[in-house]
Amino acid sequence: MLDMLGDVISLIVKSLKNPRSAVCKTAIMASADIFHAYNDCIIDSLDPLLVQLLLKSSQDKRFVCEAAERALVAMTTWVSSTILLPKLEPYLKNRNPRVRAKASMCFCRSVAQLGVEGIKVYGIDKLIQVAASQLSDRLPESREAARTLLLELQSVYEKSHDLSPTVSGHPEMSSWEHFCQSKLSPLSAQAVLRVTNIAREGLVLGS
């Protein structure tokens, strides 16, 4: 079926645009199955499918929205992050705030799939710029995804620099702070450090 995959995806995309919710939901479920079965083989045909799934996950029909969200989770689970992240990145600037929010959540999940070494190879400096840009988004889902991503990046940065999260003196904070200030504008760096500092203070208070 691999040689027919492009044609199959075209038919699924057509069904995703169908105004009948039952047809649309069936197509969404088929999308999730395809992600599971074909993994990275889908990447060349992904764009039109990704657009529709982001749109469907952003609409008001609850059972369609929930099915689309499950399909997007399947996508971030079964498609390699290194090739998926560049596909997701343009949607972080989409004019539709709800599409941006869903794309942000997918982006965050996909980065987590990279693991420590994968994040370092992909580029913490590149990822921190993406996360910082989402911190000021209109929708809380985008901002929460950005906060989650920033905490992941901070953890990876500290591990890669052999830094332990000690409280006294905060040596790791000064190094993380320097990194943020060297890669971001002053306002963006300030926003990022506020997020990561608050999270660390919460961990200290809870310990």
pLDDT at residue 45 greater than cutoff 60: yes
Residue 21 falls within a domain, yes or no?
A: no
Q: Residue 205: inside a domain, yes or no?
A: yes
Residue 187 lies in a domain: yes
Q: What is the pLDDT of residues 98-110, one digit of tens each?
A: 999 999 999 999 9
127 is a domain residue: yes
Point out the least confidently predicted range of 49-63, 139-153, 192-206. 192-206
Mean pLDDT on 192-203: 78
Domain count, the chain: 1
- pLDDT value of position 79: 97
pTM: 0.87
Burial class (CB in 10 A: 0-12, 13-18, 19+), 25: buried
| Residues 44/2, Cβ–Cβ less than 8 Å | no
Q: Is the pLDDT of residue 207 over 50?
A: no
pLDDT at 131: 96
The DSSP line for 17-82 is: T-S-HHHHHHHHHHHHHHHHHHGGGGGGGHHHHHHHHHHHTTSS-HHHHHHHHHHHHHHHHHS-HH
**Domain-located, residue 61:** no
Mean pLDDT, range 69-83, rounded to an integer = 97
Average pLDDT, the chain: 89
Tell me if 196 is assigned to some domain.
Answer: yes
Give the pLDDT score at 1.
67
Domain boundaries, position 138? 115-207
Q: Do the beta carbons of residue 81 and residue 120 sit within 8 Å?
A: no
pLDDT at 204: 45
pLDDT tens digit sequence for 151-190: 999 999 988 876 555 544 555 555 899 999 999 999 999 9
